[in-house]
Chain A
Amino acid sequence: MPDTDPISTDLTELVQATPGVRIVYDAASTIGRVLDKVVDFVTGRESDTNPVVVKEPKSGTQVRVNIGVSDDESASDVCRRVHDAVAAYLEQQGDEASEISVKVCSIG
């Protein structure tokens, strides 16, 4: 199930706001429906939980993000941008990130 951790909440909002990101998919679920509605953090969502998965084992915080990007820019660039935004946020929090995974699941 998606995370309810406050870090997850912040990260979801952060990813959603990153230029080039069209949709934030649920990174924890293995079953995604093809007619996903856009997860719009600002206008509200269907569930109370956040799609960004955050785990905090002793080895360091692990973050998993699945995104859909718009066609306007390079998907690789947007992917890296999201990673960098997440990394910067965690560093700001004094968090040691051991792994940040960002997967692009749709383009355009």
Chain B
Amino acid sequence: MSNHSAEPADFSGDEPEGLDGHTIEELNDYLDRDRTPTDASIDNSPGCQIALGTLERLRGLTRTLLDRDALAEPERDDSWVSSILAGLTREVHAGRDIPITHGSPNARLSVTEGAVRGMIRAAGDSVGGIVTGRCRLEGDVTELGEPINVLVEANAFWVDRLADAEEDVRRAVRAELERHTDLNIEAIDVTIEDATASLASTE
């Protein structure tokens, strides 16, 4: 790649010499373009090749710089986490009000969408090896009797048969929805992604 027997570019001036008429900016743009289309005057210049190597090293180090900083951070006690969590509010995720039936005309009974999502999450979590992700209730849940589609995403860890797990989740979710709500559930769509591989990697 680079010609090691050549003199390295002289950076003592403001604009480095030894780059055969090119500037660092041009070389940087060349790298941005993945060196295409090829520029013979750059590729054939030993000074440029060395400078390109330097720029690449700079980029490589930059990418790991933040990670190094993060690792070098002093150990914090848990209070910084607690203070962050204490600042969060609940209502952001309450969602729509789902009506609960009652004979009395003066009754306004409901369960929040947020509460139902939490319940769906717990149902999915109850299946071995499953961690529930996002839940969606599609359709107008504020209207009694409206057919509703439920979408559930999840991660699976050490699960042999994903199809069986999907069925287990579907069953658990349906059972809980019927137990706790008056929703008219038309379909429950479960999408599970195998996340076992992430456990194998060591950080």
Contacts and interface: CB of A to CB of B under 8 A. Distances in A.
Given A35-B85, A76-B181, A30 B91 contact: yes
A107 interface: yes
Interface string A64-88: 0000100100111001100100010
Interface in A18-73: 30-36, 68, 71
Contacts of A101: 107-110
Given A74-B180, A83-B109, A97-B106, A108 B119 contact: yes
Interface residues of A, number: 28
On chain B, which size bracket covers the interface? Answer: 20 to 34
Given A79-B109, A107-B115, A33 B100 contact: no
Contact of B90 (A36, A79, A98): A36
Of B85, B89, B109, B122, most A-chain CB atoms within 10 Å: B109
B31 interface: no
A23 to B, nearest CB: 11
Contacts of A31: 89, 91
A76 B115 contact: no
B114 interface: yes
Interface of B: 85-86, 88-91, 94, 97, 100-102, 104, 106-112, 114-116, 118-119, 122, 179-182
Interface of A: 30-36, 68, 71, 74-76, 79-80, 83, 87, 97-108
